[in-house]
């Protein structure tokens, strides 16, 4: 059972994203809310993020205290101060619920101490599940489309180019070679193109090596 409102232990989470910001507005609105609810026993956990760090030690400490049952409720100004994504929100709220810790977001009007607030968390969980399903569908559709277009999925495959050349010299078509070596026709075609380019580059290089060096004789002009 939760403690009475007068002795309920509250964890207040404050966060700012830049050095130029402060938490004064967040603090005032939260303290006004606490005064209305009659909650007087609170601890402030405050993070100040900068462009060089994204660590949130105060949040880590607050969650540790929640697990240890040192606080009975967590209050934040807005959910984006506390959560990075919808998935993160739902996971954390479920974790807090398992600990018996209530949650309130003032600006978002989410209050897990009420029936309507708990209903909202269930709706958020449903949206998170829906979002994950959409992402999975898009990924699967993209993979299927890539496969239809001949894109090889996964790690790049290694093709024995000497075997490809030998089969080509035997008069096999690209499709037949692909079947022989268990690769796609597109992969065989790319391999043959690469071999031709390497052959041309090698020929040009040898031609340069055996070319006649420029003359070093000097032309002397004699005037009559």
Active-site option among 17, 97, 186, 189: 17
Residue % of the chain over a pLDDT of 90:
16
DSSP code per residue over 97-149: HHHT-EEEETTTTEETTSHHHHHHHHHHHHHHHHHHHHHHHHHHHHHHHHHHT
- Choose between 148 and 50: higher pLDDT: 148
Q: What is the pLDDT of residues 76-85, one digit of tens each?
A: 988 877 887 7
Q: What is the pLDDT of residues 90-128, one digit of tens each?
A: 888 888 888 889 999 888 888 887 877 777 777 776 766
At residue 143, does pLDDT exceed 50? yes
Q: Which domains are seen in the chain, by residue range?
A: 9-129 (3.40.50.1390), 161-204 (no CATH)
Give every strand in the sheet of 9-16, ordered side by side: 41-48, 9-16, 73-76, 102-105, 110-111
Computed over every residue of the chain, the mean pLDDT equals 77
At residue 2, does pLDDT exceed 80? no
In angstroms and rounded to an integer, the radius of gyration of the C-alpha atoms of the chain is: 34
Q: What is the pLDDT of residues 25-49, one digit of tens each?
A: 888 999 999 999 888 899 999 988 7
Taking residues 143-171, report their average pLDDT. Answer: 76
17 is catalytic: yes
At residue 222, the pLDDT reads 31
How sure is the predictor about 201, in pLDDT bands with cuts at 50, 70 and 90? low
Pairing status of strand 73-76 against strand 102-105 = parallel
How sure is the predictor about 216, in pLDDT bands with cuts at 50, 70 and 90? very low
Which residue do the tokens 């992969």 mark? 187
């Amino acid at each position: 059972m939760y403690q009475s409102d007068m002795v309920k232990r509250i964890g207040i989470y404050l966060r700012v994203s830049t050095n130029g910001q402060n938490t004064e507005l967040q603090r005032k609105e939260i303290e006004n809310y606490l005064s209305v609810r009659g909650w007087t026993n609170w601890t402030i956990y405050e993070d100040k993020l900068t462009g060089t760090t994204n660590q949130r030690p105060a949040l880590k400490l607050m969650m540790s205290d929640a697990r240890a049952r040192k606080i009975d409720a967590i209050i934040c100004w807005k959910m984006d101060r506390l959560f990075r994504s919808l998935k993160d929100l739902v996971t954390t709220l479920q974790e807090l619920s398992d600990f018996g810790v209530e949650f309130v977001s003032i600006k978002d009007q989410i209050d897990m101490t009420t029936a309507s607030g708990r209903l909202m968390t269930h709706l958020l969980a449903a949206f998170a599940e829906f979002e994950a399903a959409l992402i999975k569908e898009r990924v699967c559709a993209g993979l299927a489309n890539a496969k239809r277009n001949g894109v090889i999925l996964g790690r790049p495959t290694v093709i024995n180019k000497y075997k490809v050349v030998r089969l080509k010299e035997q008069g096999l078509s690209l499709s037949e070679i692909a079947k022989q070596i268990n690769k796609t026709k597109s992969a065989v075609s790319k391999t043959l193109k690469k071999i031709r380019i390497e052959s041309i580059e090698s020929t040009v290089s040898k031609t340069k090596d055996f070319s006649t060096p420029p003359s070093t004789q000097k032309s002397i002009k004699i005037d009559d």
